[in-house]
Amino acid sequence: MLAEEHSSTGRSSDELQRAPRRHRWYAAIAFAAALCLAIAYAWTRSPWWDEGVFSDAAISFRNSAHLRSSLLAPNSYLNIPAPDRFTYWQFPGYLVALGVWLRALPVSIYSVRLFSIVWGGVFVASWFVFVRAISRNESLALVVAVLVAFDYSVMAAASDGRMDMMCAALGLAALAFYASWRENDRLWTAVMVGVCGAGCLLSHPMGLVMNAVLLAIVLCDRDGLRARFVAALVVPYVVFGGAWLIYILQDPGLFVAQMKANAGYRVGGVIATVGSMVRDLPDRYVQFYFAPEGGWHRFKALVPLFGLTGLVMLVADSRERRSALVRRLIMMLVVASLGVAALDNRKFPYYLVYVMPVLAALGGVWLYRSLSAGPAVRWLALSLATAFVGANAANVGYYIRRNDFAREYRPMVAEIQKLRKPGAVVMGPSELGYALGFRRPLIDDCYLGRVSGIRAQLYVLHSSCGPMEGSEAAWAWTEQQLRENYREVYRNPAYTVYERKE
């Protein structure tokens, strides 16, 4: 095994071990297969509320260079005030970037998800660069990048019109640029570390986690840091942060109110945060990967098993345990898992993309090292790696085959188009904007106009609507209105459509 340590100056002292051409071809075929799965997943999963509400703000930026919601009713979702004036309740990075992207492509769920797929490519490429720069081994970097590309959390994030793929990709790109700076000590590389890190931070609160990972890795090499690197790193944070501050100062009171409304049900005190971190393993990972389900979902348990086995085997080997790559991957896993646990008490599965690829990378390092080990270890590693790829592909294939887009979303939209009267108000989740347009008379108001007094001809109920902390009275009023003034006219597993009685 090549030495993997770096000199105190921060530059590599080892010659890069190039991958044979056949390894590159094998990796290219694997990347193409993972890309096809991600695209098919993006084309068949049903649009959902997050995608619609984020696209709404991005389209507003595309049209007017201003972030606001055209569909979201004031004081509806989480009682957020004045979302039609400013979008302060979400970080601006993804919304601005998506708005710029949609100036080049027509507005559709496909173009929004294609944006995430592109960032998925950046994410995988960044893993390759990061591992290659630290290990000085291109074949190892290809193995790790392929396994990361097949991780379900990556394919799910890359096929979803949320900001998680962009945020995670920018975080990994910052790490990749930093590892490259350790090789070449070029100023532009240091600047790109700051650009990617600041962009990650402004895309989503989980950018705090990725920046904590970056900080931990940088501090590992603090003896080799230079003043000009630190200065080049800090400048983009100051510039990006200043731009956001200018936007905030347009209405700082509303910024505080919107942020408080959005964070109120997620962020608690110290005791609540510690309790959330303690429960994170069973409530997030065990629940997602090991909860009893039928069909292809039963194989999900094989996904973490590969990475966990790799982690144990690498730690058990004193030589591997001391290697620069393994030490950094373990640090990334610890910081990322603790950070996600602290920031998300709702245990949302789409935040797995900040943690599980690191576990897949550890499995990939073990797999590569095992190829030169004894037959028993080699057989175990190859079997678990095959099971890992197969389980992830099967999980994605299950949703592709189910095709919720055609099974649930399109029939619901067709029914609305048939029932809708000219100019009549439709109240429903923001993803209806992809079919009805991101404009009035479509209104995203779970509570049927309780605050606005607007009465809808059609009301579309979805899982994004329901009683939440602090909204029990509003939801009880909505249910009463549905019983007394509306009748159910359509239902499928995801949506229920009500029409107002004449």
Q: What is the pLDDT of residue 463?
A: 84
Nearest-angstrom CA–CA distance, 77 and 446: 7
Written as six digits, the tokens of 177 are 């640029």
What ranges in 45-106 are assigned the alpha helix state H?
A: 49-64, 92-101
Q: Give the SS3 label for residue 462.
A: coil
In 264-301, which ranges are continuous DSSP H helix?
270-280, 287-290
Q: Which two tokens stand for residue 432?
A: 């209806």
Distance CA 229, CA 197 (A): 14
Instruction: Specify the pLDDT at position 6.
Output: 38
Degrees, nearest 5: CA angle 61-66-70 = 75
Contact by Cβ (8 Å): 462, 478 = no
- CA dist 297 and 290 (Å) reads 9
- CA 447 – CA 473 distance, rounded (Å): 10
Question: What is the sign, positive or negative, of the torsion defined by CA atoms of 309, 355, 127, 228?
Answer: negative
In three-state secondary structure terms, 459 is strand
Supply the pLDDT for residue 267.
67
pLDDT averaged over 10-residue windows placed end to end, the chain, 502 residues: 38 78 97 98 97 98 96 90 96 98 97 98 98 97 98 98 98 97 89 98 98 95 84 96 97 96 76 89 93 73 95 95 95 97 92 98 98 94 97 95 97 97 95 96 94 95 80 90 96 97 87
Q: What is the pTM of this model?
A: 0.95
CB-CB neighbours of 440 under 10 Å: 12
Provide the pLDDT for residue 2.
36
Half-sphere exposure of 139 (CA within 13 A, CB side): 13
Q: What is the rounded CA–CA span in Å between residue 497 and residue 474?
A: 19
Do 210 and 163 meet the contact criterion of CB atoms below 8 Å apart?
no
**Partners of 386 in beta bridges:** none
DSSP code for 469: T
